[in-house]
Amino acid sequence: MEHTPIACSHHDHNHCISDALEAARQLCLGRGVRLTDLRLQVLELIWQNHKPLGAYTLMEMLAKANTRRVAPPTVYRALDFLLEQGLIHRINVLNAFIGCPSPTTKHQSHFLICRACGIAIELNQPELSQQIIGVARDAGFAVETQSLEVSGLCANCAGNTEHSEHRHE
Amino acid sequence: MEHTPIACSHHDHNHCISDALEAARQLCLGRGVRLTDLRLQVLELIWQNHKPLGAYTLMEMLAKANTRRVAPPTVYRALDFLLEQGLIHRINVLNAFIGCPSPTTKHQSHFLICRACGIAIELNQPELSQQIIGVARDAGFAVETQSLEVSGLCANCAGNTEHSEHRHE
DNA sequence: GGCGGCTATGTTACTCTATAACCTATCATC
DNA sequence: GATGATAGGTTATAGAGTAACATAGCCGCC
Ligand SMILES: [Zn+2]
Ligand SMILES: [Zn+2]
Ligand SMILES: [Zn+2]
Ligand SMILES: [Zn+2]
């Protein structure tokens, strides 16, 4: 049952972006929280590809887009909001953030991260979450959040490894 | 098959420490790498309990123990060595380090982390590693390393939650 | 024993990541 | 349009990690 993830295959990424932004608008509307210009802008920047972006990278992008200085708290507050609403995930191993393709359904943070091209693929495996909860319960542990970060090579990069190991863009 | 982990139960922790240090000595001897005084000292400090310690906390402890200033590179180099040899793991979600109770057997980094008492319990579940590898393979992804960090409440703290939610020592 | 290369540690300076504290602007509601 | 609440701007600082270079031990060899 091999199935190449969207992030790894050629696809119309504008579609990913518009879907994500529209989903965010609906979700915030439904919850009565404010998806302000800044927050939307940060979300859009995060979605510009399937690679996690650091807060300071986002800060520079914001500064460039708005042609004025943007300070860390500004971007961190937007990121905190997006994290709270489940619109993005934090990739701890990279100190970076990536958009969530299914923010409406509650789920844990499970990612495959390619060390060659930098892509992060979000898994959708409720059974895995359940198994982890089970293992934890056997140890008397009550799970609140899960972070699974698997590093390696994605389908694209695994094939090209011998030729070009270290490209980052 | 409930089984309270050692880290969570009353136990002779000096035994944990001496076991870990002796295992480290043997392992380094066998591999022909040098477990220097500094590296051993850092490992011992890390093992002083079952809670992950940050690099800067370790730095202060080192400075106190040696009654002289210790700079970041000193402790980071020791940590790098211990990580390479598999004697410790890094807990990404905490930016902290914890001793590995089974450094001789190759395995992934799977932890339960109690947000109340700060303890980190290392799981020993090869089946879980295998399942993760399988899920990744279905996405065409070649796994190199895994980091599973589950946050919640340990057996001890889950019972006491209503009384004292936020004790850290 | 003394030389030369290698590994480990010391030292300084810096980068990157994140937050505290305080102030101002905007929004919603009455 | 006053009032309270939320969002964003600003400054400063904390926390985590690394680069670059100097020094000190260690080891094998002559
Ligand atoms: Zn998600
Ligand atoms: Zn890739
Ligand atoms: Zn381990
Ligand atoms: Zn606990």
Flag if A142 and B158 touch (Cβ within 8 Å): yes
d(CA A113, CA A111): 6
Q: How far is the CA of A33 from the C1' of D3 (A)?
A: 21
A92 lies within 8 A of chain B by CB = yes
Q: Spell out which residues have Cβ within 5 A of ligand 3, the ion.
A: B 100
CB-based burial label for B158 (10 Å; 0-12, 13-18, 19+):
middle
Flag if A141 and B154 touch (Cβ within 8 Å): yes
Residue A140: left (phi > 0), alpha (psi -120 to 50), or beta? left
Flag if A140 and B93 touch (Cβ within 8 Å): no
Token pair of A34, please?
């404010």
Question: In A, which residues are within 8 Å of B154 by CB distance?
Answer: 140-141
Indicate the helix (H) or strand (E) that contains B133.
helix B126-138
Residue B26: left (phi > 0), alpha (psi -120 to 50), or beta? alpha
3-state class of B101 per DSSP? coil
Q: What are the angstrom distances between the C-alpha of B132 and each of A37, A132, B148? A: 38, 11, 10
Give the pLDDT mean for B29-39: 95
pLDDT digits (tens, 9 = 90+) for A54-64: 999 999 999 99
Q: What are the angstrom distances between the C-alpha of B27 and each of A116, B33, B35, B39, B169? A: 32, 9, 9, 13, 32
Residue burial A140-165, b: 16+ Cβ < 10 Å; e: rest: bbbbeebbbbbbbbbbbbeeeeeeee
Prediction pTM value: 0.92
pLDDT digits (tens, 9 = 90+) for B115-167: 999 999 999 999 999 999 999 999 999 999 999 999 999 999 988 754 444 44
* Phi, psi of B16, deg, nearest 5: -55, -50
From residues 69-128 of A, which are strand C contacts by CB within 7 A?
A: 71-73, 76, 80, 95
What are the per-10-residue average pLDDT scores of chain A (169 residues)?
A: 81 94 96 96 97 98 94 98 98 98 97 97 98 97 98 90 46
3-state class of B76 per DSSP? helix
Measured between CA atoms, the residue of chain A closest to residue B90 is A93
Residue A152: left (phi > 0), alpha (psi -120 to 50), or beta? left
First-to-final CA distance of chain A: 29
Measured in Å, residue A20 CA sits from the centre of ligand 1 at 11
d(CA A117, CA B13): 44
B69 CB neighbours strand C below 7 A: yes
H-assigned helices in A11-102: 13-31, 37-46, 55-66, 72-84
**What residues does each domain of chain B span?**
11-101, 107-169
pLDDT of residue A166: 46
pLDDT of residue A15: 95
Question: In B, which residues are within 8 Å of A155 by CB distance?
Answer: 139-141
Count residue pairs from A and B with Cβ separation < 8 A.
136
Out of B115, B139, B149, closest to residue A3 by CB: B139
Token pair of B119, please?
């303890």
pLDDT of residue B169: 39
Residues A103/A96, Cβ–Cβ less than 8 Å: no
B142 lies within 8 A of chain A by CB = yes
Measured in Å, residue A169 CA sits from the centre of ligand 2 at 10
pLDDT of residue B167: 43
pLDDT of residue B164: 47
**Among A42, A15, A39, A44, which Cα is nearest to A28's?**
A39
Question: In A, which residues are within 8 Å of B112 by CB distance?
Answer: 136, 139, 141, 143
* Statement: A11-101 belongs to CATH 1.10.10.10: yes
**Among A98, A132, A119, which Cα is nearest to B147's?**
A132
* Statement: A107-169 belongs to CATH 3.30.1490.190: yes
Q: Contacts from A128-132 at CB under 8 Å and sequence distance 24+?
A: A128/B131, A128/B132, A128/B135, A131/B128, A131/B131, A132/A108, A132/B128, A132/B148, A132/B150
Residues A138/B121, Cβ–Cβ less than 8 Å: no
**Among A159, A162, A82, A91, which Cα is nearest to A120's?**
A91
Indicate the helix (H) or strand (E) that contains B64.
helix B55-66
Residues A162/B159, Cβ–Cβ less than 8 Å: no
pLDDT of residue A1: 63
Flag if B150 and A150 touch (Cβ within 8 Å): no
pLDDT digits (tens, 9 = 90+) for B41-99: 999 999 999 999 999 999 999 999 998 999 999 999 999 999 999 999 999 999 999 99
% pLDDT > 70, chain B: 93
